[in-house]
Amino acid sequence: MKRVLLTLLSITLFNSLAMSEDLLPTSLKEKIYPRVYLDLPESTPADIKLTRADSPVEKQLVGDLILFYAFDKGDHFQIISNSDLAELELKKEELHELALKNLRELNLEIKAHQGGSIMMLTAGGDYEATLALLPEVWDSIGNMVEGEILISIPARDILYVTGSKKEGGVEELQKYTNQMIENADKPLSGRIFRWAGSEWLEYQKTGTNKSE
């Protein structure tokens, strides 16, 4: 289990407490959503070392991005631990599919805002990064860009898009991504990713694009 930010660890520690008896598993399951986080290197010092039971359930997304899963508590998200997973009587892949189902059922109002050679997708402020998990979104976006779909996710509420054949698109995408990484309170990835039809690959302007 890779080490994560202290703020994330602090949230996760709440999961060591038993679930409230007045919240049935069924109602809890309806409030589970995917959350995108930055995956830190093994060498990053950890302020707190979690047991496996208290560690978040995680899934690789692409590059340096990973997925955690969380209960929507209204004013905050509570990260789901392995012990929570056992209480919910779900397998890891079942949790992932449930989170995607709940995400789709939000019927998010997704808007594309064009600016120069790139677009920015918005979806209300909490779920922009998780749009990367919905192939149907990229089926639609594919008709709006030149070449292959390229994205960056520099923050959880920011998702930039351009096309691989858009003149100046890659350069502008990287420029705005770098700026957001510098200014965001909780930055995510500074990398660019390419949609390969069913998965995201890390984009390299020269050479072979690779999966993680």
> 95-138, pLDDT tens digit by residue?
999 999 999 999 999 999 999 999 999 999 999 999 999 999 99
pLDDT at position 206, please? Answer: 65
Q: Is 207 helix (H, G, I), strand (E, B) or coil?
A: coil
First-to-last C-alpha distance (Å) of the chain: 16
Low-confidence ranges of the chain (pLDDT < 50): 1-22, 207-208, 212
pLDDT at position 41, please? Answer: 77
Q: Say what the pTM is.
A: 0.83
pLDDT at position 26, please? Answer: 67
pLDDT at position 127, please? Answer: 96
Structural domain boundaries in the chain: 6-105, 111-202
pLDDT at position 45, please? Answer: 59
| C-alpha dist (Å) from residue 197 to 26, 134, 149, 153 | 33, 11, 9, 18
Q: Output the furthest CA–CA distance in the chain (Å, rounded).
A: 57
